[in-house]
Chains A and B, each alone.
Chain A
Amino acid sequence: MDDILRVEGLTKRFGGNEVLGGIDLAVQTGEVVCVIGPSGSGKSTFLRCINLLETPTGGRVLFHGQDVTQLPASVLHAKVGMVFQQFNLFNNMTALQNCVAGQVRVLRRSRAQSVEKAMFYLERVGMLPFRDARPAQLSGGQKQRAAIARALCMDPEVLLFDEPTSALDPEMVDEVLSVIRTLKDGGLTMLIVTHEMAFARDAADRVVFMDAGRVVEDAPPQKLFTAPENPRTQAFLARTMRG
């Protein structure tokens, strides 16, 4: 099997504070892996170390067997896309321009080609009618869908989601999750940090439970949610599934 992503002994410390204490994880092509765990367990930092938004302190991240620190930044970031909790759409651009900018500047695509691709993905996330809207004019759910389209326009092989629905009103969560589900159907490899347990249960191929900067349990959702082995996983799930 081809591991599209392989993380080996990844550590990260901020000053004296160890946030990641040696993470090992392999993701196969087409796999959807959800990362769950309590706040402050290092989930976001882990994700940000993969595409080098944070510089790892130790260990390696391999993309198709190649150390990501050896890859040119433009290649790494185009191939490993990211969707943020706070959307981070470019505020000085319309939804369409958000999707075009990276293609033109980073991939050196022609403007016409970029617009065509942007329109395609904006339609796929249901944002085509809002293509000329600026972020200030969009709801949270719309912003996040546009941000997903922006990431898709770079033709990524892996998409990292950093709590994509945590900043959304409850009624907007579903519109974003359903977009992510269609991406799974399209066969895109995704690593999703989320607090949406129901989503993780039915959309993920594997669920990883993280606590205190380590992977505590890594199992298919049916197993992890119904028969978790580790007591910490059990305690966490008992707390979060109660509601």
Chain B
Amino acid sequence: MPQSFFGWIEFLLRQYGGLFLTGAATTLLIALVGTAAGFAIGLLVAVVRTIPLRKDAPAVKRALLAAAKGLLTAYVEVFRGTPMIVQAMVVYYGASQYLGLNIPAMGAAFLVVSVNTGAYMAEIVRGGILSVDAGQKEAATAVGMTHWQAMTVVVLPQAIRNILPSVANEFVVNIKDSSVLNVISVTEVFFMSKSAAGTYYRYFEVFFITAVIYFALTFTFTRLLRLLEKKLSGSASYTVYGSQSSHRAEIEVPVDPGKGGRDG
């Protein structure tokens, strides 16, 4: 048996390297799927919750919409107000005990992380929608777009750019918080670490490795997402058309307007 700290690290890596790797891959997969699905849920919930309730609409329609909004609010509050570790237990064991459904642990993991993230995303997207000038929605309405069109074509593309940092943050949170899924035996990196540590009772060394893995994952992805963010927000400088202080702003009028434009 190794005697020193580094000796143990080397020994454990050699012994359990594959375990750590598959665990890390599983963690990453859950975080990716959960964040992507959660984002989609968040977008949908926010779009429904921002449907204007018009007083002159038929009573049935108004009641339906109010009910849908109430349900969505309940969803957001319940899933933000309870720990994910408890949600995992309730979903996983509830499904087998009361619905007779033996969902695989991975399935439960995807479900719980997606739905949990969706609740947070719904609020993030709502904030993003509020950050877009109300005149944008009005102008979309004024050319005849429906709420859905105004949202998907005009408002959300602007909102998403504003909320990208928060979305990236949710992804990082998911990489770390998916560790709670070990309680339903999801073989993510924390679960793998526990089994590795138990064999030789080397908890400190194993979880030191685990910490490094988590940090490597989160750090890499925060950098990557920051890059993406920069790319999406475009260049910080631009030329005002018709500006007389820059030659780049000169306007060239096409000779034949019909052929000057872009196709399609």
Contact = CB atoms under 8 A, between A and B. Distances in A.
A139 B242 contact: yes
A209 to B, nearest CB: 26
A102 B143 contact: yes
Contacts of A90: 136, 139-140, 153-154
B198 interface: no
Contacts of A92: 154, 157-158
Interface residues on B, range: 35 or more
Given A105-B149, A105-B153, A131 B261 contact: yes
A53 B138 contact: yes
Most chain A CB inside 10 Å of its own CB: which residue of B142, B239, B242, B253:
B142
- State the main secondary structure of chain A at its contact with B: helix
A128 B264 contact: no
Most chain B CB inside 10 Å of its own CB: which residue of A115, A129, A150:
A129
Interface residues on A, range: 35 or more
B264 A55 contact: no
Given A111-B264, A115-B264, A130-B251, A81 B145 contact: no
Interface string B136-168: 101111111110010001100110000000000
19 contacts: A53-B141, A69-B56, A73-B144, A76-B144, A77-B141, A88-B136, A88-B138, A91-B158, A101-B154, A106-B143, A119-B261, A123-B257, A129-B241, A130-B242, A132-B262, A137-B240, A142-B241, A151-B142, A151-B143
A76 B253 CA distance: 35
A101 B239 CA distance: 25
A147 B264 CA distance: 21
Given A77-B141, A112-B264, A151-B143, 8 more contacts: A53-B138, A82-B139, A86-B135, A111-B264, A115-B264, A119-B261, A129-B254, A132-B262
Contacts of B146: 73-74
A55 B55 contact: yes
Contacts of A89: 139
A203 interface: no
Contacts of A154: 143-144
B261 A74 contact: no
Nearest to B259: A119
A96 B136 CA distance: 16
Contacts of A134: 238
